[in-house]
Structures are given as structure tokens and as C-alpha cells.
A and B are shown apart, each in its own frame.
Chain A
């Protein structure tokens, strides 16, 4: 397909751009297959704004036609929806496009010429949600400072396994899914108990939704306990059982008295799932496992929560009661609280209680990943460095098959009908931010990293979050044809900005407080484009400078003794 057929007007002069935190600028607007480019050449200062069209969640357009419409619409106001009036090239006509981005920025373009405005708007609407993945920008992005032959990704399950010597006694690497036929959303290699062979795994896969049989996701070195994850068992209404599934789980606890299953649904939801072929592990068949039901919000409800919160943040009524009730009504912070406390429970089971845990909800691709990731951050210091955290995300979200393409297709501003969108990954980043607030010295990365990830998951130059699972990424040749975000974030310049200057390694677990008083709205993200957030960024800059200054002096005073 040619992008040019969607671009009727590629250039418009004399456009005014209004964006948060900047004075309005006048310049040239240019639209390409993937970008909106605005350059402002006023008063010798040269400024460019390059916006990835994929980042645009929704647009609103209106036209003002001062010459012909002023009489007609004098009472109704000069603004009219463009689709109502017939479009023709009128001198003195102009249009306004309001662009609402997935990173929650809102821009406004005042475009001279009604037709130009309409063309631009139409191009944006089409090009911002291209269906075909292979047309997306990551396949066209060619930075000058990197090569497609550079290493893609930070690690792989194979490497992870070979590094974890402790695992080798009781766990093995299985490639039963090498052609993605057993579980389309799993990577090619997974870690399973040594005593289960591939035949068994194939049978277990048939008993779990989407073939997501229980696999190892975390090994706690201190006591050898593990976190497993899977999808729900397909017991159905007639309470089917699967010996292999029971054996696999028995092999996990091997010797210790019991394990826990944390089901991220309420008991009722889990029971209801039987009617549609799903279900839960019954006490009688899994006698050494104790089930804990912890209801977590998912899917549409979570997306609606995000939409409500973003709407509340944009409310300009200046009314305190209204703000607090909207904040409460969005339930976003409740979801943060639930996620952190369920993760805390999971970590408590493993670290304190000394038991292995299986986590699942229904599909095992959303809330399951959310709490297993948070629990690892709580318990495992190696996940808390910049590399460690990115590796964790790569393993637990990208490789483990969180359907990024579906979940992040639209964000909070979109008017499109909701399909599979759900801000689970954003919720994870918010929870991580809460951890970072409570333990400002324990995490090796900065808030800037979380913000960058929140943006990249929705619209990116890089191929990392493309597709819904490894199978799709293989089919598209993502590895061969795009660049890896995680590698880019670890380059020296980026590393400076994304690492936490205050970081100090600690072996201890970092138990978050989940009291409502301890949890806060993530202003850095939700109110990112307000001047207040800018002051806080300045303070972060000061912190970084202080640490650098101190580091320099400490360094310069030490070698003097030689």
C-alpha cells in the first residue's frame, strides 16, 4: 500500500501549533506516512515537533469561516463540525484540529484553509490506526547510530535458564513449543519441572486455556520456592480433570507440604467460568494446593477506569469535591491498591511462608503477569537495576505473551469502540512508580524510564512492543527488520537519564505499603503536561546534579593518596 494515497495535502504553511508548556508557534505543517512534522522558524529560533501518527488517539476538528459564515452562524457560534457544511476552498476560511495523544498530550493546530484542514484530519485519522502491522513505523525506522545486525533483545529463556544454575537439578528447558503449536502465545522455550516430559506438557496444554500450561516464572534463591504461571484450567461444567496437570503441579511442590494457587478472579467469577468451559483447580483433585481468590479488575473495566481518570484530570471546573469524587469514581487507585496488595500477598507466600505459588486468572496474559512481575520486584534485588528491570519486562511481558498490540491499540481519548484494549501494562508501570516512591533508593531506574515505557507501549519507533506474542513477531520478522527498544534504552546517553542517581543495592525485600494514604496519583504520567509536573522534573534534575557533583569530588579526593 502506498501511504501517499492517504495524503491529499502534505504541506501547509502558516499553521499555528498550541501545545502544553510551550508558547504557541507559527510554522509549516507537514504530514508523512508515519509522522506529523511541525517546524517553526520564527525569530531565528528553529523548533521542530515530530509526532508519530500512531501516538494520536483521537482528533477533533472544527472550522471557522469568517467571510461566508459569519452572518449565517452568528447566533450558533462560528464553530461548526466540518462534516455538516459542504467543503469548498474559501478564502479566509480556517480550521482547527485538536490532537489527543496516547501519551495524554493535547495539541491544537490552527490551519488556514478549510480544505487543507479536512485533508490533514482525514490523513491523520487513517494513518494513525493502520491495521497491517508490517506497515507500522518500526519497520521503517532506521537510526543512524545503530545497525539491524545489533543484538536484539536482552536475554532469552535459554540464556536465563543456563545462567540459573540452581534450577538445573529440578527444572529443565523444554522446547515443546518450538513451532508455537502447543501454545501460540508462549515463547519457543519454557522452563518446567524436570519430571514432566514434552508429551505430558502437550496434554496439560490442552487442559489450559490458550494452551498456557503452568511454567516457571520465578525461582526464589533464598528458599528454592517458585512462582509458576498459567491460564485457567478447562474443567468446564462437568468438572473435567487432567492427571498430567495434577502431576505437573505435584512435581512443582515436590516434597514440601503445600503450595498456593492465587487466582486473580473472585470465587464467583471462577465458578461462573465453568459454564464457558473454564474453571478452577478443585480441592479434591489438587489436594496439596490451597487456592486464594483475589479479584482483580481486567479488560474493559480497566480501560474504562483509565478513561474516567484521564477525564477527571482534564476537568477544569476547579472544584475540589468534584475532583475527589471523580478520582474515586474512576477506581484507578483502587486497582493500583489491589494489584500491589495481591503482589504483596504472592511475595509473602514465597518469601515469608516459604511455599511455591501458581498464579493465574483466566487467560493468564494480563493480571497474572502484573502480579508476578510486581512480586519479583519486591523480592528479587536483581530485577531492580535498570538492566534487571528491562530484562524482567522482556521475559514476563514481551516473551510471556502479553498482547500489546490488542491492549494498547487505543488509550484514554479514543472514541473508537473498545475491543481488546486494556491498560494492564500502564497499571504495572503505575504500581512500579508507587514502589519507587516508597523506596526511592532501592530501584535502579528513574521515573523517566517508566514514562518512556508508558509512551513506547502505545506508539514506538522500535519493534519491541509490536505484535501480541513471539509467534506473531517471528512471522513479521520483527527481530530482523526493526530495532530493539530495550537495547536503545541502555545506550550510554539514555542510561544517564533512565538510571536512578540515588540507587543503592539492597538484598532485602521491599514491602510496599498499600494503605490508601500511601498510594498517590501518578502525577508524572497523568498530569505530565502541566507546569506543576515541570517543577518536579526540575527538582529531579537538581537531585541528579547533586549526586554527580558529590561523586566527582569523592572521586577526586581519593586517588590523591597514591
Chain B
């Protein structure tokens, strides 16, 4: 490819960020889609694959005697520090990667060149896997209160909204169009979620163009219509998710917020969630703390506090709770907006849905929710995730915050979610990886124009096919924790730092054994045993019928250790840096234990493609598997295969 100045560099060192002593030497390859580092220790073929589209920033540091250092930050929070022997080579690698990681045109995106072995028909099925209309039907729509409107069929009213939209039965096209003219980017109030039980709805829009005194009759009628669609309620909430000051500042630009006096029976409420720029800076600050080499406890906690990240997560969750309670407990409909209605509004509506409806706490439900509230309603994935070379001020981890809110809820309600944290992390990776077409473009219109359904693949069906990896073994749909509205606490101590995402590639930091994997293994085995038992009973009954009491069927004895493999794998554990540099030159220097080495040599490419290789952490690394191994059936020699055969 024309952008690769240097396809291969030998004698490159990959430094371990946590313990620099454990650096690895190998060859660096640049391909059209990946940077591949192949460690050339004898007998060990250890590969690290990094997708170009995941590269977030490149930093070339001053050359030293040992070579020039290239620091790569990835959007999935992997950090790689290569030391390249010659400055010239480093320069070439740097320039090549800079270009490769910043596609200029959509057809350069990885999803276009990603070609798993799937034919056109299967591809069509992939894209049909999720059907938003089916989800609306599940909510009981359309009904006598809400109808499907074709007003935006050709994206004429709002070019960032989807074609299918639900509006109140009484909202006529002139009202809709009139209201849309009074809203930023034409994003008029429309339905996001409807509660069958009590008719309360969550609606969303952008800010009104009210300025200091402007009014719009149609917009007022639109809200009136939403209120009337909830027959049991005599008022509705209008929630502006911005801090009040920001909203006021918008009035000077002819935008702003609803004046309670102009609308009948609304209760207006500000919920201060900061804007995309604050969130971007906050995450950046937090990542700096995560990347400190050996921070003290105080360094870490102070840094976490000053990043403000958990404060923002709490703000989003608080807003979601407000809305969920209004709907479930008061039976009151809510209209949510921020400025454009595609960032904070998406966060808050989707968090509220997770709290409200157990369906969105299942695998399929969460996918549908992201498809509806984020993808279809025009969250600007291309801009926010920086898929194409663009304005760095448009980048913001808004969707990360949604995923984290879900994770925080999972930590509080371990039995309430069908999926596990690995599911969220995999979604996170693929939002940024550009491997699938789902998160390309900024809205439905753009995606249609790009022809993504014909040219790319869908993540959702991939996740569904591999759902066994993403099931939470503790999920109990009938548990009291799981029923109806979740009532999380938002006391500050309930919010935790999400190590498994932000320090995902620092394997030494994660628990060395996974309860979840153990339970999944048990669960699978229990199921097998139950089936076996049932078939035995059937056979016995049969035999009884035939009056033949011959030898009963032999049962397969089970090894009492379903996770034997996890064990040896996970325990290949080495001491941490307890010495604070004291022992660096003493005989105490950690040596890899023998068990560890044998483990390593057994590993196949599937499990070692990610950064480290010394131990599997609790969270399996899915995103960095090479596309080849992802499609081919699992290598029979790999750990996981051995495990499922047990």
C-alpha cells in the first residue's frame, strides 16, 4: 500500500509499561490494516496485533543510545511503547502509521476491507438481525396513542433523525414540521421509549430556538400532544440535561430552553451534565492517571478525583434515575433534550431505559437500545470516535460513559444483567475499531448513502453468534433484584473505577482468577449433567417398560475441576514490583517461573494476539484477535477449546 514507507523493522523492543525490565524484542510489521509485533524468542511465537483504526495518538520521543521510542496510544486504552533501533526507521514507521491511522475517505475504513467468509445472503441476514420496529412492537406500538410517522421518510424534516419515528396520534404533519423548524437541526420531539403499563413515555429532541422570547405555536402543540398521549397524567417533565449556565448562554445564540409559561402543564428541570469538551478532557486526565508508572495510592485517588470522571458518570446516572422514576413511579412522560440532542440526550434516555425495562438488561435488549437511542437517533459516531481525519474538538467519549453507567449498575446488581462486562468491553472496542459498519457515519442518512449494509458487516450478529462468551452466569431473570425498575444508589462510594476497561491491557492489575469463568464452566456442566440425567431417566423408563433390567447406561464421570485450565493459566503469576527499585540488580530479580514458560509456548495465536502474554486476565481479550482467527473455528489446541471439551 502506498502509505507504508517501511513494511518491516527488525530488533524492535516492546517495553512493558508496568515493569520496564520485562521488555520483549522482535520484528515490527506494518500491513494495510494492522501493526504486528512478532516476538522472536526461540520457540515462542508471540504476536501483538494492533488495528490501525484503533490508534488514537502517536508520539515519537527523542532518540537515545538504545534507539528511538515510539509511543502509541489506542482508543481501546492500549498503550504500546516501541523502541526502534534507528531514528530513520522510527521516523518512517511514525509517518506511515500517522497516515494509516487517519483515513481520509470512508472507503479507506477498515470495515470496507474486512471480508470474513460470508456470502451476500448471510450478510443481509446479519443486518436484519436487529429490527427496531420489532422493539417498538414489543413496547406495544403503534397503538391508539402513538403512531409511526412517515414525515421524515427521506430525511427531509431532520437529516440527522431516522426515517421511522413515532409521534403522538394527534400530531399532524404541519405541527411536526412547524415544531422541527423551532428546534436545532430540525430535531423535533419524538418518542424514544414507551411504557405499556402506564402509558408514560420518554421523548427526545434538541433545544428549542427560543432565544430570549421567541415562541412557536406548533412546538407548543407538539408538547401538548405528547402530554395528551399519556391520558392519566396532567403534566409532563421537560428535562434539559445541560448545566443551567450553558443553556442560558445558548439563548444569546437564538437557542435556549422552554419557557414554562408558554407551554401548558410542563415542569421544566435542569440536570447539569457537562458538555463534550469537558468530558473529553476529563477522560484524558483520568487516562494520564491510569498510565502513571508506579503511582502511590494517594497519587491515584487524587488524580481520579481531579479528573472529575466519576463525578460525570454519577451525573449521567442521576439524570437517568430521575427520568426512570418519573416514568415508572409517577407515570409522567418526559421530554429530554440537551443542545443538539445526540449526546447527553442519548446517554440519559438509554440509561433510563436500562433502569426501567429488564429487556434492556439482556444481550439482545442492550444491542437494540444502542441501535435505537444511539445509532438511529444520530449520535455522531464518526465525529465522536474520530473514525476519519477530522476536527479533534468533535471527539468525545460520550458512548464510553453510557457503557460505564451500565457497568456501574452491573456492579451494584450482579444478578440483574444477562450479559457480562466482557460484552460491554467488546462493544466498546468495536465502536472504535471500524471493523463493523454499525458505528460508521454520523446518522442514518449518511450510512444509507455510504451503502454500509452492502459493503460491511454487522457487529450485532457477530456478538449474538458468540453470545456464550458474554453471558453472565449469575443472571437470574426471576430474582427480586432483577424485577422492574432498578433502584441503584448514587452515593459517591457506589462508583468504582473501571479497571477492566481503562487498564485493560495491564494484565498484572487484574484478578488472577475469574469467578465468572468458573461459574460459566459449572453452569455448562450442570446443564450437560441435567440432560444426561433426563436421558437416563428416559432410558430407565424405557427399560422398565420392556421389563429388561440389564446394565444401565454408563455415565461419563466428570472431572471435579471444570476450570483446571483456567487455573494453571491464571496462576502463572509473577510477583509485582514490591521493591520499589531496590532489587533491580540483585539476584531477586523476578524470573519467569517454569510454569509460565510452558504456558506461553502452548498458546496459540488466538490467545496471544493482544499485548501481554504472561497471564490471561479475567477479561478475555476479544477485540485484538486477528480477523483470521475470529472467523475460522477455534484452534483445537487452544486453551478455550480444551476447556469446552472437558
Residue positions of A touching B, CB distance < 8 A:
292, 313, 315-316, 318-325, 327-328, 331, 333-334, 336-337, 341-342, 344-345, 347-349, 352-353, 437-442, 502, 504, 506, 508-521, 523, 527, 530-532, 535-536, 538-539, 542-543, 546-547, 549-550, 553-554, 556-558, 560-561
B574 near A333: Cβ-Cβ < 8 Å:
no
Q: Which of B299, B495, B513 contacts A516 (CB 8 A)?
A: B299
B579 near A554: Cβ-Cβ < 8 Å:
no
Closest to B552 in A: A560
Q: Which residues of A contact B105 (CB under 8 A)?
A: none
B494 near A547: Cβ-Cβ < 8 Å:
no
A553 near B494: Cβ-Cβ < 8 Å:
no
Q: How far is the CB of B252 from chain A (nearest CB, A)?
A: 30
Closest to B496 in A: A520
B88 on interface, CB distance cutoff 8 Å: no
Interface residues of B, CB < 8 Å — how many? 84
Q: Which residues of B contact A513 (CB under 8 A)?
A: 508-510, 576
A553 near B576: Cβ-Cβ < 8 Å:
no
B284 on interface, CB distance cutoff 8 Å: no
Closest to B303 in A: A516
Q: Which residues of A contact B491 (CB under 8 A)?
A: 316, 318, 530, 532
Rounded to whole angstroms, the CA-CA distance of A292 and B588 in the bound complex is 14
Which of B136-144, B260-268, B518-526 sits within the interface?
B518-526
B512 on interface, CB distance cutoff 8 Å: yes
B518 near A441: Cβ-Cβ < 8 Å:
yes
Closest to A558 in B: B557
**Known contacts A550-B522, A558-B555, A561-B554: does B579 contact A345 (CB below 8 Å)?**
yes
B301 near A539: Cβ-Cβ < 8 Å:
no
A328 near B301: Cβ-Cβ < 8 Å:
yes
Q: How far is the CB of B110 from chain A (nearest CB, A)?
A: 30
Rounded to whole angstroms, the CA-CA distance of A333 and B18 in the bound complex is 20
Closest to A326 in B: B492
Q: How far is the CB of A19 from chain B (nearest CB, A)?
A: 18
Q: How far is the CB of B104 from chain A (nearest CB, A)?
A: 37
A553 near B536: Cβ-Cβ < 8 Å:
no
Q: Which residues of B contact A321 (CB under 8 A)?
A: 305, 308, 311
Closest to A341 in B: B578
Rounded to whole angstroms, the CA-CA distance of A506 and B497 in the bound complex is 30
B563 on interface, CB distance cutoff 8 Å: yes
Q: How far is the CB of B405 from chain A (nearest CB, A)?
A: 14
Interchain residue pairs with CB less than 8 A apart (10) = A337-B297, A353-B587, A440-B511, A506-B571, A511-B573, A530-B491, A535-B412, A557-B529, A557-B557, A560-B536
Rounded to whole angstroms, the CA-CA distance of A292 and B558 in the bound complex is 50
**Known contacts A344-B578, A441-B567, A554-B525: does B519 contact A560 (CB below 8 Å)?**
no
Q: Which of B304, B515, B529, B580 contacts A553 (CB 8 A)?
A: B529
B414 near A556: Cβ-Cβ < 8 Å:
no
Rounded to whole angstroms, the CA-CA distance of A437 and B499 in the bound complex is 14
Q: How far is the CB of B201 from chain A (nearest CB, A)?
A: 29
Q: How far is the CB of A349 from chain B (nearest CB, A)?
A: 7
Q: Which residues of A contact B536 (CB under 8 A)?
A: 557, 560
Q: Which residues of B contact A341 (CB under 8 A)?
A: 576, 578, 580
Chain B 300-316, CB-CB to A under 8 Å as 1, else 0, gives 11101100101100100
Q: Which residues of B contact A518 (CB under 8 A)?
A: 499, 509-510
Q: Which of A502, A511, A527, A550 contacts B576 (CB 8 A)?
A: A511
Q: Which residues of A contact B514 (CB under 8 A)?
A: 440
Among A320, A348, A352, max chain B CB count under 10 A is at A320
Rounded to whole angstroms, the CA-CA distance of A520 and B494 in the bound complex is 12
**Known contacts A352-B588, A554-B529: does B579 contact A437 (CB below 8 Å)?**
no
Rounded to whole angstroms, the CA-CA distance of A6 and B579 in the bound complex is 55
Q: Which residues of A contact B503 (CB under 8 A)?
A: 515, 517
B489 on interface, CB distance cutoff 8 Å: yes
Q: How far is the CB of A148 from chain B (nearest CB, A)?
A: 40
B298 near A319: Cβ-Cβ < 8 Å:
no
Q: Which of B310, B494, B530 contacts A324 (CB 8 A)?
A: B310
**Known contacts A321-B311, A502-B515, A516-B301: does B558 contact A558 (CB below 8 Å)?**
yes
Other than the given A530-B489, A550-B522, 11 more pairs (CB < 8 A) read A315-B492, A331-B298, A502-B518, A510-B571, A510-B573, A513-B576, A514-B578, A515-B503, A516-B297, A535-B413, A546-B523
Q: Which residues of B contact A556 (CB under 8 A)?
A: 533
Q: Which residues of B contact A515 (CB under 8 A)?
A: 18, 294-295, 503, 506, 508-509, 576
Closest to B591 in A: A352
B298 near A328: Cβ-Cβ < 8 Å:
yes
B575 on interface, CB distance cutoff 8 Å: yes
Chain B 576-592, CB-CB to A under 8 Å as 1, else 0, gives 10111011001110110
Q: Which residues of A contact B301 (CB under 8 A)?
A: 324-325, 327-328, 333, 516
Q: How far is the CB of A160 from chain B (nearest CB, A)?
A: 27
Q: Which of B479, B513, B532 contacts A441 (CB 8 A)?
A: B513
Q: Which residues of A contact B556 (CB under 8 A)?
A: 557
Rounded to whole angstroms, the CA-CA distance of A341 and B297 in the bound complex is 12
Q: Which of A511, A520, A549, A557 contacts B575 (CB 8 A)?
A: A511
A535 near B414: Cβ-Cβ < 8 Å:
yes
**Known contacts A324-B304, A324-B492, A515-B576: does B522 contact A561 (CB below 8 Å)?**
no
B588 near A353: Cβ-Cβ < 8 Å:
yes
Q: Which residues of B contact A517 (CB under 8 A)?
A: 290, 300, 497, 499, 503, 506, 509
**Known contacts A516-B295, A554-B525: does B561 contact A504 (CB below 8 Å)?**
yes
Q: How far is the CB of B24 from chain A (nearest CB, A)?
A: 20
Q: Which residues of A contact B397 (CB under 8 A)?
A: none
Q: Which residues of B contact A334 (CB under 8 A)?
A: 296-298
B296 near A320: Cβ-Cβ < 8 Å:
no
Among A324, A530, A539, A561, max chain B CB count under 10 A is at A324
Rounded to whole angstroms, the CA-CA distance of A538 and B588 in the bound complex is 43
**Known contacts A324-B305, A348-B588, A442-B513: does B479 contact A538 (CB below 8 Å)?**
yes
Rounded to whole angstroms, the CA-CA distance of A442 and B514 in the bound complex is 11
Q: Which residues of A contact B490 (CB under 8 A)?
A: 318
Q: How far is the CB of B93 from chain A (nearest CB, A)?
A: 30
Rounded to whole angstroms, the CA-CA distance of A441 and B7 in the bound complex is 45
Q: How far is the CB of A196 from chain B (nearest CB, A)?
A: 28
Rounded to whole angstroms, the CA-CA distance of A83 and B512 in the bound complex is 56
9 smallest beta-carbon distances between A and B, as pairs: A323-B492, A516-B300, A344-B578, A328-B301, A324-B305, A539-B414, A553-B529, A320-B311, A334-B297
B33 on interface, CB distance cutoff 8 Å: no
B522 near A547: Cβ-Cβ < 8 Å:
yes
Q: Which residues of B contact A331 (CB under 8 A)?
A: 297-298
Q: Which residues of B contact A347 (CB under 8 A)?
A: 575
B578 near A348: Cβ-Cβ < 8 Å:
yes
Closest to A330 in B: B301
Q: Which residues of A contact B554 (CB under 8 A)?
A: 560-561
A557 near B576: Cβ-Cβ < 8 Å:
no
B415 near A538: Cβ-Cβ < 8 Å:
yes
Q: Which residues of A contact B512 (CB under 8 A)?
A: 438-439, 510
Q: Which residues of A contact B580 (CB under 8 A)?
A: 341
Q: Which residues of A contact B576 (CB under 8 A)?
A: 341, 344, 511-515
Closest to B511 in A: A438
Q: Which residues of A contact B414 (CB under 8 A)?
A: 535-536, 538-539, 542
A553 near B533: Cβ-Cβ < 8 Å:
yes
Q: How far is the CB of B495 from chain A (nearest CB, A)?
A: 7
Rounded to whole angstroms, the CA-CA distance of A442 and B513 in the bound complex is 8
B555 near A561: Cβ-Cβ < 8 Å:
yes
Rounded to whole angstroms, the CA-CA distance of A345 and B412 in the bound complex is 34
Q: Which residues of B contact A535 (CB under 8 A)?
A: 412-415, 481
Among B473, B511, B552, B556, max chain A CB count under 10 A is at B511
Among A323, A349, A516, max chain B CB count under 10 A is at A516
A557 near B573: Cβ-Cβ < 8 Å:
no
**Known contacts A318-B490, A556-B533: does B296 contact A342 (CB below 8 Å)?**
no
Q: Which residues of A contact B506 (CB under 8 A)?
A: 515, 517
Q: Which residues of B contact A324 (CB under 8 A)?
A: 301, 304-305, 310, 492
Rounded to whole angstroms, the CA-CA distance of A328 and B299 in the bound complex is 9
